[in-house]
Chain A
Amino acid sequence: METVCLNKQDNSFTRAVEERSGQVVSRCYQCGNCTAGCPMSFLFDYPVSRIMRLIQAGQKETVLSSKAIWLCAACNTCTQRCPNEIDVSGVMDTCRQMARRENKFGVHAVRAFVNAFIDSVKFNGRSHEVGIMALYMLYTGRFWTDVDLAPKVLPKGKMAILPHRINGRAEVAAIISRYKQGFSDPELVRARLAAAGGQGAGASAGGDKGSRAGHGKEAAS
């Protein structure tokens, strides 16, 4: 097992994870319930409860370089069972997002799969299974991936060889492109909201936010 040097604590990392995920990671008292229920733990380099401890201890490099944050299946078992009501799965998601921003990819195949999926959505507006597999093979060089499944699905005519493209695919591609250009950056949007607030409601795009109660009908319950 690797040793962790607790003299080098990056507390700003702990704060950043808490802020981005909206979770109080310091509430974790290492009961291990998350790890006990984690289905992917057998592939992890650090079990999920240890990732939580490493975040508390400000071990940015270890956490963001880990394989565990990439192999999490986002099944929410840990979140459901945490006695301190921490959205553990959400924290894992946050770490993966932060790792991506720092160009750290603990498991390249997962990154390739995610990219293949998003690219498929960008091209077609919908995900296209055959296309995702083709892109995944291209990005990883694993050209034999799941070829054993082809004889099972192709004769049934289930898999659409050509994608179902939607009319609004340019709109969906624009969402991804705006995202990549940083349009949803929280500081930028916060500044715009503040400016709009100063000028009065409805002054800029999306300026009617303040008057809207919420998007979910069941939000109050």
Chain B
Amino acid sequence: MSKITLGYFPGCSGLGTSAEYEKSTRAVCRELGIDLREIPDWNCCGSTPAHTVDPVLSSAFSARVFAQGEQVGITDVITPCPSCLSNLRNALRHMDDELFAARVDALTERPLKQEHSIKSVLQVIVEDIGLDSVKARVRKPLTGLKAVAYYGCLMNRPEKVMRFDDPENPVAMDQVLEVLGAEVLPFPLKVDCCGGSMSIPARRSTPHLAGKILDLAGEMGADVVVVACPLCQMNLDLRQGQSRAAGLKYTLPVPYFTQLMAYAFGLSDADTAFKLLAEDIAPAFTCMSRRSDEIKAEEARKAVLAEEKARAAAEKAAKTQAGTETAAEKQPGGKSRANSASAAGGAA
């Protein structure tokens, strides 16, 4: 496959709470032939706090990121984090307005000279690399793993700004998990909010929102809740104990989709980085291999059954043919349709 080179914005959480996302994203991109050029000395995009203060301040943080890229010839950037994506995308959109751009420039004192684009890693994998290429790299299929994909609010919303997948029923991650071999359950809370950064100042929101998502996933019989957002992951995984303290009955591992890709590609433990998850993923893989064995046994049973059926059918066919021949010899009109057909065929 031809290599593609793209600018890369890891986002701050990649250096801390989402280190497993960062490690697995880099590994998966390496495998898929996406050459990541990290923006030199990148800064924080300001996340939700900056745009609640002022969109101009938020866009100024993003503008410095783009300016840093511009300096080394990077104008097409991808990021794993939907919150960074949303901020960087919104900054570009707002800066199409001349006055807004001038206000941003007044803060950065580094006007952008080129046009820029920002996409999610997921979008590039699904749209530019393609599911066939992903499938071709699977060494250890996730057969038997029951997964739900949880997208969170920002990856696809608002539709007009994000322009990727469906805003109410996104399927990109479902499709990736399917080609990895997992059984993806239709999850109704795919885009319901986990509470985002409100989990700190409004603590009650976590068990109420993240807890509801986990509860339904558990109720549906999922082994894992697969995510693409560091903040969602933190609320669902790290804070799962807080949800359990408030009544959640299930314990569910919450891996990033890139971790499962790295696993299915047969990459090393350093690349999958499963040990960094707060909730252990091992029970999910135990369920997966048990179910995989069951699936294999069932397939073997079906194969034997089908073979027997085929043999029986062949015997029957041989018998009927023999019968037909004798019948055709005796009465040329024939009783059954098959007989008449064969007789007609014979006559023609």
Contacts and interface: CB of A to CB of B under 8 A. Distances in A.
**A-B interaction:** yes
Interface of A: 39-40, 42-43, 71, 73-77, 79-80, 87, 89, 93, 96-97, 100, 107, 109-110, 112-114, 117-118, 121, 125-130, 133, 136, 145-146, 148-149, 152-153, 156, 158-160, 164, 166-169, 171-172, 174-176, 178-179, 183-186, 188-190, 192-193, 205-206, 208-210, 212-219, 221
B96 A179 contact: no
Contacts of B44: 121, 125-127, 172
B57 interface: yes
Contact of A113 (B191, B201, B209, B276): B201
Contact of B198 (A40, A125, A219): A40
A183 B107 contact: yes
Contacts of B51: 74, 93
A40 B95 CA distance: 30
A73 B49 contact: no
Given A39-B192, A76-B157, A216-B92, A109 B202 contact: yes
Contact of A208 (B111, B202, B241): B111
B101 interface: yes
B208 interface: yes
A158 B197 contact: no
Interface in B82-140: 89, 91-93, 95-96, 98-99, 101-109, 111-113, 115-117
B93 A77 contact: no
A67 to B, nearest CB: 10
A73 B204 contact: no
The 6 tightest CB contacts between A and B, nearest first, are A75-B153, A109-B201, A216-B92, A39-B193, A117-B49, A75-B193
A144 to B, nearest CB: 11
A118 B109 contact: no
Interface string B22-58: 0000000000000000000111101111111111110
A160 B17 CA distance: 9
Given A149-B239, A215-B116, A167 B276 contact: no
A118 B49 contact: yes
Given A171-B64, A206-B106, A214-B96, A114 B52 contact: yes
A192 B107 contact: no
A79 B160 CA distance: 10
Nearest to A156: B276
B101 A73 contact: no
Interface stretch (B8-16, B252-260, B290-298, B308-316): B8-16
Given A79-B158, A184-B104, 9 more contacts: A39-B195, A73-B205, A172-B61, A176-B57, A178-B106, A184-B107, A189-B99, A206-B111, A218-B163
A206 B96 CA distance: 14
A159 B17 contact: yes
B105 A219 contact: no
11 contacts: A73-B48, A73-B197, A74-B48, A75-B157, A80-B168, A118-B46, A149-B241, A175-B61, A175-B108, A208-B111, A221-B163
A207 to B, nearest CB: 9
B284 interface: no
A148 B245 CA distance: 11
Interface in B163-213: 163, 167-168, 191-193, 195-198, 200-202, 204-205, 208-209
Contact of B115 (A71, A160, A215): A215
Contacts of A93: 51-52, 55
B39 to A, nearest CB: 11
A49 to B, nearest CB: 17
A1 to B, nearest CB: 22
Residue in A158, A166, A167 whose Cβ sees the most chain B Cβ within 10 Å: A158
Nearest to B89: A216
Given A113-B201, A209-B111, A186 B49 contact: no
B216 interface: no
B105 A110 contact: no
A217 B116 contact: yes
Among B50, B75, B201, find the residue whose CB has the most chain A CB atoms closer than 10 A: B201
A193 B98 contact: yes
A179 B60 contact: yes
